[in-house]
Chain A
């Protein structure tokens, strides 16, 4: 295999590995990213229309390991989605992408899912209360608590604690949990990106 072919193969291998890390982004976005990186590498490596092997190596080294580069794209994409729309499903979608790439992302997704479910349970209970007075926070006979919506007879075997106060409390606690979860998700993604940039910035080595 000629030097030129080998050089080209190294570039394509690198880009294929980046592309693999971007699989959770849309096909169009991933193709656009890979095309931009290819253009960057070619421009840095080419001298008088010929690609120099040493310059290709230097260009790939400057971009960093393909997996890390792809992770930065994915977390930046997640953060951009979350910053454009603070809707819980958008945030969860972004964090879900991140979770497929790292343990930190998975843990964040778990905490966010619990936070949103907790918030949604209180909001739904507060919304249902005017139509079904049996909805409420029930202290069951076995000593456990249940946020019942009142559509089953399970709540009968206990005592309802909040009465109509469920409506303001449900909206406050539910809304608060959703807001806090959103803030936590944004903080986590930003912190992760920040840590990656600090590790990767050449300025930090100077």
Chain B
């Protein structure tokens, strides 16, 4: 019987993208847990502290949506360079939501990791 051929790497890539996309909101909320940051700082934080490389055209509308949902608040602050920056911080609701998402993530990844142990030991 002929084996079904899958297009090389395509399903894996799509799955990776879906996973990144799904974790984006949590990553943004987490990056603002301890301090207020402006858009470019959030992007840099995500790139340096996680493997999330996000398009700039994606992160700004998402910040705007999280603000509209009441999870973030923002304020304009004049920078040393002379141009204003829009800083984002978590609202009380945002902190609560970030905490809930983080707890779920920890539980979910711990249980999935158990299932993945045999895969790490090779065939």
Please report A residues at the B interface, Cβ cutoff 8 Å.
32-33, 35-40, 42-44, 46, 49, 59, 62-64, 68-69, 72-73, 76-77, 79-81, 83-84, 194, 197-198, 200-204, 206
SS of A interface (majority) = helix
Report yes or no: A76 in contact with B54, Cβ–Cβ below 8 A.
Answer: no
| A30 → B minimal CB distance (Å) | 11
Interface residues of B in 34-50 (CB under 8 A from A): 38-40
Chain B interfacial positions (CB closer than 8 Å to A): 13-14, 16-18, 20-21, 24, 38-40, 52-58, 60-62, 64-65, 68-70, 76, 79, 81, 83-86
Can you list 27 A-B contacts (CB < 8 A)? A33-B60, A36-B60, A39-B39, A39-B84, A39-B86, A40-B60, A43-B79, A43-B81, A43-B85, A59-B56, A63-B56, A64-B56, A68-B57, A69-B57, A76-B61, A76-B65, A76-B68, A79-B65, A80-B65, A81-B68, A84-B70, A194-B21, A197-B24, A197-B55, A198-B17, A200-B55, A202-B53
Instruction: For A83, list chain B residues within 8 Å (CB).
Output: 69
Taken together as a complex, chains A and B put the C-alpha atoms of A84 and B54 apart, in Å, by 25
Residues of B within 8 A of A59 (CB): 56
Give A63 Cβ to nearest chain B Cβ, in Å.
Answer: 5
A206 touches B55 (CB 8 A): no
Residues of the A chain whose Cβ atoms lie less than 8 Å from the Cβ of B14: 198, 204
